[in-house]
Amino acid sequence: MALINTDWTKELAQVETTLVKFLDEKMEPMADRILDRGIAESSVILAKASFEVQEAIKQATQELESQRKLAIKEIKQLIFYAGVAAFSLIAITALFIAGVIKYFGLF
């Protein structure tokens, strides 16, 4: 049997009230400010990342367009040189045939 019976109900209720008041008045606003700052910083970071990604896409698109134009230019030059080579080959062949005909006097 205990010598002193102590009822802590009132003290515990007082501690609970004080703790709830502290959490509501001090901790909740502080947590809200921290969350708001975190959200704001996250928004800034995402905006910067979005801008950088858009710039990278823009640069890649410009580079692809430049490469496409260069490829088209080179293909046109290749077709031109192939045409010149084919014409030269036909002309040389015609001259050769004309020379052979004239040399052998076939016509």
pLDDT at 1: 52
Q: Which pLDDT band, with edges at 50, 70 and 90, does 13 fall under?
A: confident
Which of 24-28, 41-45, 95-99 shows the lowest per-residue confidence on average (mean pLDDT)? 24-28
| pTM (two decimals) | 0.53
Task: Give CA–CA dist 64/12, Å, rounded.
Answer: 73
5: left (phi over 0), alpha (psi -120 to 50) or beta: beta
Say how far apart CA 49 and CA 52 lie, in whole Å.
5
Buried b or exposed e, range 50-75, using 16+ CB within 10 angstroms: eeeeeeeeeeeeeeeeeeeeeeeeee
For residue 26, give the amino acid letter.
K
Residue 52's identity, in one-letter code, is E
pLDDT at position 9 is 85
